């Protein structure tokens, strides 16, 4: 593959290790990821390029370097040199160049700034290569090499210290008490026993505490015995996005261990896509056995409450369009659940041109929303989404992921767009029927 780039690459470094140690760390991590499925995917690529047209960053810029499979180039070279069936031959004859520090630095932008791990490329690949999953695996090596965008690394360091990117656990009771006073709803904290452990996304512990209050209002309405807990409250697993496996495990265990300790049967995740990816599908991997608790996303929780008539909602009516969060729908399977909730709210749903499994990402997933370096790219994606949203003519624009919502809000502010991005949870909570 060509390694020429049309624009200068941006990269950051953490630590003071030598280039050799960084390369060794990355290669060692890459090799540890090469299981059967990864090998199948690496060997099956015919380099047809069909993944390019699926990627929002390629579609909105036209730059070939954003072709999803190209983002895996150092990973591919590591595979061919170290693990592929002909690796000894490839190394002996020098057929594939070992990734160097310049390669890894260059690919930092491709793996972190211009990939949200949304998996739309996975749908487009005729060989069924799960490129998003491979990018996640490649990020593990980049983190080990200390080659992560500094903003994400800062969040990582914070989460390692606090167990959250938003606040240390000891501040949680105060935050919840303040949210409780502000929104007039009881929010229990650190109960010694409860049926449901409720978790939050970082923004909900800062400027979006209404989301906490909305969840509390619904949980209190159904008479649930629930609590939040200092020992495990932030579900947006920054380790999952950054490639920091150690942190991912620690944050995951904090949630599960807390739930087990208080006897909870359910861990309720907030409206956050990557929280769902990290907890629903990967928590058991870290726990080492089938989980003793059920992990459920807010969207399916609302869907189940409405279907079982434990809550009923007033019909809002009018038209709405819905942005499908990638980790919840395309990689999470909750496409129908979200639409049932919207139907219960009485909306006439006008779908985006690309919706459901094939919906375009908001442009901020996978940590991109927090990576200020990627802001210009994110704004290009926002423009595409904005056009699709406006084309529906819908009155309401709804989504079920806080990170998507923040991404849209940032885009709207930049573009001076007055369409509000509404939270599905908020709509349900504000329209609970008596």
Partner 1 sequence: MPDLSPAREGAPSDLIGALRAVQHGLWPRKEFAQAALGSTINGYVFHLGLALVFLGYAPHIAFVQRLSGLSWPPLPDAVMYLAAGATIVSLLLAVVSRLTNAVLRKISTADDLITWTLVMLPMLTGMSVVVEPSLAILARDHVTYPIPLAIHLLSVELLLIWFPFGKLMHAFLFVFSRGATGMRFSHRGVQL
Residues near partner 1, by CB under 8 A = 1-2, 37, 40-41, 43-50, 52-54, 58, 64-65, 67, 69-70, 85-86, 122-124, 126-130, 133, 280-285, 287-291, 294, 330-335, 354, 357-358
Distance in Å, CB of 169 to partner 1, minimum = 26
Distance in Å, CB of 138 to partner 1, minimum = 16
Residue nearer to partner 1 on the CB measure, 54 or 305 = 54
Residue nearer to partner 1 on the CB measure, 12 or 244 = 244
Residue nearer to partner 1 on the CB measure, 2 or 192 = 2
Q: Which two tokens stand for residue 269?
A: 């995740």
Residue nearer to partner 1 on the CB measure, 2 or 161 = 2
Residue nearer to partner 1 on the CB measure, 126 or 317 = 126
Dihedral pair phi/psi, residue 322, rounded to 5°: -130, 130
Distance in Å, CB of 170 to partner 1, minimum = 31
Residue nearer to partner 1 on the CB measure, 331 or 386 = 331
Distance in Å, CB of 175 to partner 1, minimum = 30
Q: Give the dihedral of Cα atoms 411, 67, 98, 24; nearest 10 deg.
A: 30
Residues 6+ away with beta carbon under 8 Å from 69: 45, 47, 49, 51, 121, 129, 131
Token look-up 């020992």 returns 231
Residue nearer to partner 1 on the CB measure, 162 or 287 = 287
Note whether 272 and 402 are within 8 A (CB).
yes
Distance in Å, CB of 29 to partner 1, minimum = 14
Distance in Å, CB of 398 to partner 1, minimum = 21
8-state DSSP, 190: S
Helix 375-392 and helix 402-415, axial crossing angle in degrees, nearest 10: 90
d(CA 314, CA 309): 13
d(CA 16, CA 170): 32
Residue nearer to partner 1 on the CB measure, 55 or 197 = 55
Coil/strand/helix, residue 319: strand
Note whether 326 and 118 are within 8 A (CB).
yes
Residue nearer to partner 1 on the CB measure, 162 or 286 = 286
Distance in Å, CB of 374 to partner 1, minimum = 20
Q: Which two tokens stand for residue 103?
A: 């390669």
Residue by residue, DSSP assigns 252-275 as: HHHHHHHHHHTT-SEEEE-S-HHH
Note whether 159 and 247 are within 8 A (CB).
yes
Note whether 408 and 384 are within 8 A (CB).
no
Q: Which two tokens stand for residue 61?
A: 């810029």
d(CA 388, CA 384): 6
Distance in Å, CB of 418 to partner 1, minimum = 29
Note whether 244 and 143 are within 8 A (CB).
yes
Distance in Å, CB of 163 to partner 1, minimum = 22
Distance in Å, CB of 37 to partner 1, minimum = 5
Task: Find the helix or strand (DSSP H, E) in which 223 lies.
Answer: none
Best CA proximity match to 119, nearest among 339, 328, 377? 328
Residue nearer to partner 1 on the CB measure, 3 or 312 = 3
- How distant is the alpha carbon of residue 347 from its chain centre? 27
Q: Which two tokens stand for residue 255?
A: 């949630």
Q: Give, rounded to a whole angstrom, the gap between the first and last alpha carbons of the chain.
A: 62
Residue nearer to partner 1 on the CB measure, 155 or 381 = 381
Token look-up 């329209």 returns 431
């Amino acid at each position: 593959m060509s390694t020429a780039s049309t624009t200068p690459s941006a990269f950051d470094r953490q630590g003071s290790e030598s280039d050799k140690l960084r390369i060794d760390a990355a290669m060692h991590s890459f090799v540890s990821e090469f299981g059967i499925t990864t090998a199948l995917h690496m060997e099956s690529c015919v380099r047809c390029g069909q993944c390019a047209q699926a990627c929002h960053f390629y579609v909105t810029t036209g730059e070939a370097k954003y072709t999803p499979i190209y983002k895996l180039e150092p990973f591919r070279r590591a595979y061919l040199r170290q693990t592929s069936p002909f690796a000894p031959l490839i190394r002996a004859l020098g057929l594939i160049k070992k990734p160097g520090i310049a390669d890894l630095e260059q690919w930092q932008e491709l793996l972190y700034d211009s990939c949200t791990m949304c998996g739309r490329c996975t749908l487009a690949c005729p060989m069924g290569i799960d490129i998003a999953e491979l990018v996640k695996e490649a990020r593990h090596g980049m983190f080990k090499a200390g080659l992560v965008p500094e903003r994400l690394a800062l969040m990582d360091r914070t989460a390692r210290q606090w167990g959250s990117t938003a606040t240390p656990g000891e501040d949680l009771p105060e935050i919840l008490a303040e949210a409780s006073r502000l929104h007039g709803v009881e929010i229990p904290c650190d109960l010694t026993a409860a049926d449901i452990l409720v978790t939050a996304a970082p923004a909900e512990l800062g400027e979006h505490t209404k989301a906490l209050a909305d969840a509390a209002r619904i949980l209190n309405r159904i008479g649930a015995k629930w609590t939040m807990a200092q020992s495990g409250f932030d579900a947006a697993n920054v380790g999952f996005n950054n490639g920091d496996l150690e942190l991912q495990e620690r944050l995951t265990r904090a949630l599960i261990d807390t739930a087990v300790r208080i006897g909870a049967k359910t861990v309720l995740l907030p409206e956050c896509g990557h929280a769902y990816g990290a907890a629903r599908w990967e928590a058991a991997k870290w726990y080492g056995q089938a989980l003793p608790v059920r992990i459920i996303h807010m969207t399916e929780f609302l869907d189940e409450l409405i279907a079982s008539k434990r809550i009923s909602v007033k019909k809002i009516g009018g038209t709405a369009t819905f942005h499908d969060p990638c980790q919840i729908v395309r990689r999470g399977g909750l496409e129908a659940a979200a639409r049932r909730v919207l139907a219960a709210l009485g909306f006439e749903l006008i779908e985006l041109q690309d919706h459901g499994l094939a919906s375009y990402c908001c442009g901020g997933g996978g940590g991109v929303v927090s990576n200020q370096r990627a802001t210009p790219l994110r704004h290009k994606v926002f423009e595409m989404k904005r056009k699709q949203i406006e084309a529906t003519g819908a009155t309401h624009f709804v989504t079920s992921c806080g990170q998507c919502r923040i991404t849209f809000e940032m885009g709207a502010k930049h573009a001076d767009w007055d369409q509000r991005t509404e939270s599905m949870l908020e709509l349900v909570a504000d329209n609970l029927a008596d």
